[in-house]
């Protein structure tokens, strides 16, 4: 059996590109979304490229489902070599209109799901003394912005989780890294909702999901004498 790369939040852009990149790298891609049917186009593309793929539906906020997910992958695919937490949950709303229900849901998606992913991955990786856990962060991981109280809170929590995991798991052979995605990504959402921003694609002015994915694979292959914990990715035109 080959090793597996689990990608929690394998959407149509970044997450899907990450899953496909690890499949090309020789691991069995295990893309995960709440509904497995939504993953079929991605799974078909990975297989057409010659890669191995097992698409699974699971809610990252549900502890039982996450335990079952990792158990199934270890039993049916092989050791989890890479676990990527890529759920975004970016849903802007002003603080005057924000509700406790929305805030809690965004926190669960950003932070609780990240915790369950990291814990279950670590429980499998630590006894083997190897593995890579990667968290997708955002501009909101570093600084809060107007209208982003919930999203920033969730992403700050995820960054703190990544820092704690890195300090605890690194000495035990598990590489933990946090990737700050700072800028618009080439997605249908940007194309339809922000056409003026999407027009920058012609000048490499928005993030290419394939380029993002290449960085995740690179992080997995880093020598432990020079591990990266945090890295930021942004288009060359992005102000920061």
pLDDT tens per residue, range 114-141: 999 999 999 999 999 999 999 999 999 9
pLDDT of 1 = 53
Name which residue leads in pLDDT, 87 or 190: 87
Evaluate whether residue 198 is within a structural domain.
no
> What is the extent of the structural domain holding 65?
4-181+209-218
Residue 186 lies in a domain: no
Edge to edge, the sheet with strand 175-181 lists 56-57, 28-33, 4-8, 80-85, 132-138, 175-181, 230-233
* pTM, full prediction: 0.94
Q: Residues 186, 177, 155, CA angle at the centre, nearest 5°?
A: 65
Residues 6+ apart with CB under 8 A from 146: 94
How many structural domains is the chain composed of?
A: 1
Domain annotation covers residue 108: yes
Cα–Cα distance for residue pair 33/161, rounded to 1 Å: 21
Q: Which residues pair with 138 in a beta bridge?
A: 181
Confirm whether 98 is domain-assigned. Answer: yes
- Per-residue pLDDT, averaged over 38-57, amounts to 96
pLDDT at residue number 93 = 86
125, 139, 133: which is closest to 166 by C-alpha? 133
DSSP code, position 61? T
Give the rounded percent of residues in the chain with a pLDDT score beyond 90.
81
> Residue 65's pLDDT is what?
98
Task: Determine contact, residues 165/114, Cβ cutoff 8 Å.
Answer: no
On the question of pLDDT at 47 being above 60, the answer is: yes
Structure confidence at residue 71 (pLDDT): 98
d(CA 134, CA 175): 8
Q: Is the pLDDT of residue 2 over 60?
A: yes
pLDDT at 196: 85
**Once rounded to an integer, what is the mean pLDDT over residues 43-60?**
96
Higher pLDDT, 238 or 44: 44
- On whether residue 202 sits in a domain, the answer given is no
Please count the CA atoms within 13 angstroms of the CA of 173 that sit on its side-chain side: 11
Average of per-residue pLDDT values in the chain: 94
Residue with tokens 């004498």: 225
pLDDT band (50, 70, 90) for residue 12: confident
- What CATH number does the domain containing 8 carry? 3.40.50.720
3-state helix, strand, coil in the chain (%, to 5): 50, 20, 30
pLDDT exceeds cutoff 60 at 5: yes
The predicted structure's pLDDT at residue 62: 97
Residue 43 lies in a domain: yes
pLDDT digits (tens, 9 = 90+) for 201-223: 888 889 999 999 999 999 999 99
Would you say residue 191 lies in a domain? no
- CB contact set of 44 (below 8 Å; sequence gap of 6+): none
In which band, very low, low, confident or very high, does the pLDDT at 11 lie, cut at 50, 70 and 90? confident
Q: What is the pLDDT of residues 75-111, one digit of tens each?
A: 999 999 999 999 987 887 889 988 999 999 999 999 9
Residue 188, in any domain of the structure: no
């Amino acid at each position: 059996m080959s090793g597996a790369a689990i990608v929690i939040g394998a959407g149509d852009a970044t997450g899907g590109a990450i899953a496909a990149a690890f499949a090309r790298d020789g691991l069995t891609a295990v893309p995960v979304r709440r509904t497995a049917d939504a993953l079929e186009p991605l799974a078909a593309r990975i297989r057409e490229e010659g890669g191995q793929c097992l698409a699974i539906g699971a809610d990252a906020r549900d502890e039982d489902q996450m335990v079952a997910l990792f158990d199934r992958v270890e039993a049916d695919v092989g050791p989890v070599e890479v676990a990527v937490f890529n759920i975004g949950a970016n849903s802007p709303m002003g603080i005057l209109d924000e509700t406790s229900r929305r805030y809690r849901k965004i926190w669960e998606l950003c932070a609780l799901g990240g915790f369950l992913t990291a814990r279950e991955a670590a429980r499998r990786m630590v006894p083997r003394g190897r593995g890579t856990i990667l968290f997708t962060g955002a501009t909101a991981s570093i600084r809060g912005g107007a209208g982003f109280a919930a999203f920033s809170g969730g992403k700050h929590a995820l960054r703190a989780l990544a820092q704690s995991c890195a300090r605890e798991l690194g000495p035990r052979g598990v590489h933990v890294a946090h990737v700050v995605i700072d800028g618009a990504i080439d997605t249908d959402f940007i194309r339809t909702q922000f056409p003026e921003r999407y027009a920058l694609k012609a000048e490499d002015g928005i993030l290419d999901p394939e380029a993002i994915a290449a960085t995740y694979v690179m992080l997995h292959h880093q020598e432990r004498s020079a591990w990266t914990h945090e890295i930021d990715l942004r288009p060359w035109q992005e102000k920061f």
